Structures are given as C-alpha cells and as structure tokens.
Structure 1
Amino acid sequence: MSLSFRQLRYFVATAEQGQISYAAAQLSISQSAVTTAIKELEKSIGVALFTRMPQGMELTAAGRQFLSYAYEILAKVDEATHLNYVSSDIEGDLTVAATYTVIGYFLPLHIERMRRLYPKLRIQLYEVNRESIEEGLLVNRYDISVLLTSNILNTALTTETLLRSIRRLWVAAQHPLLKHVGVGLQEIAEEPYIMLTVDEAAYSSLKYWSTTPYQPRVMLRTSSIEAVRSMVANNLGVAILSDMVHRPWSLEGRRIETINIKDPVPPMDVGLAWRANTDFTPAMHAFRRYFQQAFGLPGTNA
C-alpha cells in the first residue's frame, strides 16, 4: 500500500469541508486533482472512504476511522518540520493559565510537543476565565497565558496573537441556506439561533450583531460546545462559531456544514498574554519561542 502526503491532505480537506469543490478552493487546486487523489487513496487502502451524495461527500465508517489516523500522521509531519527550537536543556517551572476554549481545542497538542522537546520543563496548567487570567498575571499568580487575545481589556498586559480563526455559520446537512455560497446576518437572523456563552462567546457575537439592524433569534443559550454541535446537526438551529472549534460530526454522527458569512464578522484571535515589562525566565522564553516558531512568527525579545 502506497500513501502520499498529498493524498492525506486532500482527504482531510474533503472530510472537513464536505464537498470536493470547497476542499479544492481551500487547497487552491482543481477539483479533478482532489477527486483523483481520493480515488487513488481508496484504491490503495481497499475501502470506500466517502459516500457520494447529491449534497456532498459523507464519510463512511471506515472513512471516519481513517480520518483520525490522517490527523495523527499530518500532525507528526507538521511537528517534524518545526524542529529548530531552543535547547532541550531548558528547565524550570512554568505556570500557564488558559481559557476553556483554548484548553479544549488548541493547547493540548502543543503542550504534548513541548513536553517532548523540553523534558526538564515542568508546566502547570490552570483553566480559568479571562478576568481571572488578567488578575492572575498582574499579581504573578501565572507566568504566562494562552487565551482569546481579542477579548483582552487590560492595557497592563502584553499580548501576541498566534492565529486568527475565521467565524462561519454552522448549519445541518441539507439546510436550505447551503444553496448559497455565502449568507448575510439578515438571513441568519431569520433562523432559530443557538448562542454559545462560554469564553465570552455571547459577548463577542453581540458586538458584531449590534452594528447591524438585525438580532439573532436565540432559542438556546448554552456553555456547551457539544450541545451547540448536536442542536445544529439535528437541524434545531444555526450558530456562528470559529473554525478552530468546528468538527464536521455531532456526537450522534450527524454532519455539520459551514457557510461563509458575507457581512463583517471578526475572527477569533488566539495567542499569548503576560504582564507588561515582565522579566522573562528561560522557561517563559522557551514557551514563547515554541509558539513563535510553530506559527511562523518572527522571534523578538520580550
């Protein structure tokens, strides 16, 4: 069996996007290239990975299992291309605070990598809300934090954004809005809306809704992303959330599609924060430089 990195990337893109056309656009290649790669992959492993449906591509049971392996392989390849880190001899204790969304959908992979890169670095993690992080950084309870930098309000803190995760509309498979390439907040306001509240998500969403004459028809407010996922997948409402927390399947195995939003909706910024004018310890330097290199940021002195 011969697999290629290209085939895995195209397969993952198609699984996440649900349509070959969307995957091709994301990868900036032709649809035929994606189709050919998937057919080659299915032939190599001897099973069908997708069921071809009128509305798009649905993963088979084997496809879902293979997707988890593909994610792992691509993560290892990505890790292998970011080996130019500071010395693994760095040691010491580091207290890191992170918010719920960051802990659940962003940080674990990077902590695992750092644990292997810096075996002598002891990282103590705390999951707390943004207000507690700001206060904790200022009184030196935490050395550094990983959180939604777009929510930081305190000017006594320094932030460094690592990634900007686009917010899109989540809808159930075969939802009528999928007929459109993009939708506006006016159309979204006509749908029952599932409002996520964790990590100030409701506050963030109301900031962009408030600039329009429209308001979401909220049928449920919940702190559970899985609840949002299930409600949307079961066609009980729609939601606007970032790509970072999107998964194409609910716990019931029903598909969740995404649609681009035509009106201005800011991305979710994820990054680091620390007390301004802090004297960085070697452990803090290692932590920051890891993320700078992982996300292709220029290295600077703290």
Structure 2
Amino acid sequence: MRFSLRQIKYFAATAELGQISRAAVELSVSQSAVTISIRDLEEGLGYKLFIRQSHGMELTDNGRHFLTRAYAILAAVDDARNMPQEIAPVSGELTLAATYTVMGYFLPDHLQRLSLLYPALRIRMLELDRDTIESGLLAQNYDMAMLLTSNVRNPAIQTETLFSSQRRLWVSPQHRFAAKRQVSFADIAQEPFIMLTVDEAADSALRYWHLHGFEPNVALNTKSIEAVRSLVANDLGVAILSDMVYRPWSLEGKRIETIKPVESIPSMNVGLAWRADASMSPAMNTVRQYFKQRYLDPQNPHGSSHR
C-alpha cells in the first residue's frame, strides 16, 4: 500500500471542507486533480473514505479513522519543515499563563514540540481569564502569557500577535444558508443564534454585530464550544466563530459547514504577552523565538494560517 503526501493533503482538505470544489479552491488545484487523488488513495487503501452525497462528501467510518492518521502525518511533516536550524541548550523554568480557548485549541501541540526540542526547559502552565493574566503579568506572577491579543486592554502589557484566525458563520448542511456562498448580517439576525461566552467571545461578537447595525437573535448563551458545535450541527441555530476552534463535526458525528458573511468581521488574534518593562530571560526568549519562527518567519509557508 503506497500513498503520497499530496493525496493525504487533498484527502484532509476535502474531509474538512466537505466538498471537492471547495477543497480545490483552498488548495489552488483543479477539481479533477482532487477527485483523481482521492480515488487513487481509496484504491490503494482498499476501502472507501467518502460517501458521495448531493450536498458534498461525507466521511465513512474508515474515512474518519484514516483522517486521524492523516493529521498525524501532516503534523510530522510540518514539524520536520519547522525544525530550528540550530538548537542551543536551554534550561530553566518559565511560567506561561493561557486563556481557555488558547489552552484547548492551540497550545498542547506546541508544548509537546517545545518539550522535545528543549528537554531541560520546564514550562509551568496556568489556565486563567484575561483580567487575571494581565494583573498577574504586572505583578510578576507569570513570565509570559498566550492569549487573544485582540482582547488585551492594558498598555503596560506588551503583545506580539502570531496569527489571525478568520471568523465565519457556522451552519448545518441542512440549513437554508448552506447552499449560499455568502450571507448578510440581516439574514443571520433572523436565525436563532448560539452565543459562545467564554474568553469574552460574546463581548467581541456584540461589537461587530453592533458595528453593522444588527442584533443577534440569541437562543442560548454557553461557555461550551462543544455545545455550540452540537447545536449548530443539529440545525438548532447558527454561530459565528473562528477557524481556530472549527472542526467539521460535532461530538455526535454530524457535519458543520462554514460560510463567509458578506460584511467584514474582525479576525481573532492569538499571540504572546508579557510585561512591557520585563527583562527577557533565556527561557522567555526561547519560547518567543520558537513561535516567531513558526508563525512570523516569511520563509515559513504555514505561518500565515491556522485551521
């Protein structure tokens, strides 16, 4: 059984986006290239990865299992590409605070990589809200933080945004919006809206809703991203959330589609923060340079997106 990295990339993109046409656009290739790649991959594996439906491509049980392995392969290749050219020995301890969203949907993978690259560096993690993080940085309780830099208010806190995650409308495949390429806030305002409240998400949402002169028809406020995912997938409402927390399926295995609203929505910015007048320790510099290389290095083709 042989398969190529290109086949894995095309398969993963189709699984995430649910349609060969959308995967082709995302990958900047022809639809036929994606179709042929998936067909050859299925033939090589000896089983079907997708069920072809009228609304798009739905993963089979084998397809779901293979997707987990595909992600592991792509992550390993990404690690190899981003391996620092020179790894200087670094030791010591660093206290890194993080907000809920960043801790759950961004940091774990990077913490593992840092532990492999710098085994003598001990990173002590704390999950806290933004207000606590800001006051803790100023009081020197924590060395650095990883949070939504777009939410930081205190000018005494230095921030460095690593990437911006696009916010999109989430709907079920059965929703009347699912067949549309774009939807306006006037249309979204007529639908039951599932409002995420964790990490000041509701405050951020209301700012861009009010900017466009509309009010969401909130059916439920919840701190649980998985609750939002399940309610949307079961066609009980819609939501607007960032690509960083997007997954194509709910816990029940039901699909979620995304649509770009007509009106502009501010991205969710993620990055590092520290006290502006703090002296950078070797451990702090190591962590900062690791993230800068992965996300801000112009030679890194994966640095400008995160999904």
Q: State the TM bucket, normalised to the shorter chain.
A: over 0.9
Indicate the residue corresponding to 2:302 in structure 1.
none
Residue type of the alignment partner of 1:6: R
Q: Distance in 2 between matches of 1:78 and 1:2?
A: 20
Q: Distance in 1 between matches of 2:222 and 2:86?
A: 42
Cα contact 1:85–1:289 (8 A) shared by 2 = no
Residue type of the alignment partner of 1:159: T
Count of residues in Structure 1 that have an aligned counterpart in Structure 2: 299
Indicate the residue corresponding to 1:264 in structure 2.
264
CA displacement, residues 235-286 of structure 1 (integer Å, 9 cap, x when unaligned): 0000000011011111111111111111010111010011112210000011
After superposition, the Cα gap between the structure-2 partners of 1:150 and 1:239, relative to the gap in structure 1 and judged at 3 Å, is same
Indicate the residue corresponding to 1:79 in structure 2.
79
Indicate the residue corresponding to 1:5 in structure 2.
5
Cα contact 2:174–2:235 (8 A) shared by 1 = no
Q: Distance in 1 between matches of 2:262 and 2:207?
A: 16
How is 1:1-302 mapped onto 2 (pairs within 5 angstroms)?
1-84=1-84, 87-297=87-297
CA displacement, residues 173-232 of structure 1 (integer Å, 9 cap, x when unaligned): 121101211111111101100000000000000010011221110000000000000100
Cα contact 1:88–1:117 (8 A) shared by 2 = no
After superposition, the Cα gap between the structure-2 partners of 1:79 and 1:257, relative to the gap in structure 1 and judged at 3 Å, is same
CA displacement, residues 81-107 of structure 1 (integer Å, 9 cap, x when unaligned): 111255341000000000000000000
Residue 199 of structure 2 aligns to a residue in which SS?
Answer: helix
Cα contact 1:138–1:275 (8 A) shared by 2 = yes
Q: Distance in 2 between matches of 1:273 and 1:51?
A: 45
Structure 1 segments unaligned to the other structure (5+ residues): none
Residue 2 of structure 1 aligns to a residue in which SS?
Answer: coil
The percent identity for this pair of structures is 57
Residue 177 of structure 2 aligns to a residue in which SS?
Answer: helix
Per the normalisation by structure 2, the TM-score is 0.95
Q: Distance in 2 between matches of 1:16 and 1:219?
A: 27
Structure 1 outlier segments of 4+, above 2 Å: 85-88
Per the normalisation by structure 1, the TM-score is 0.97
Q: Distance in 2 between matches of 1:227 and 1:242?
A: 15
Q: Distance in 2 between matches of 1:238 and 1:133?
A: 31
Q: Distance in 1 between matches of 2:118 and 2:280?
A: 17
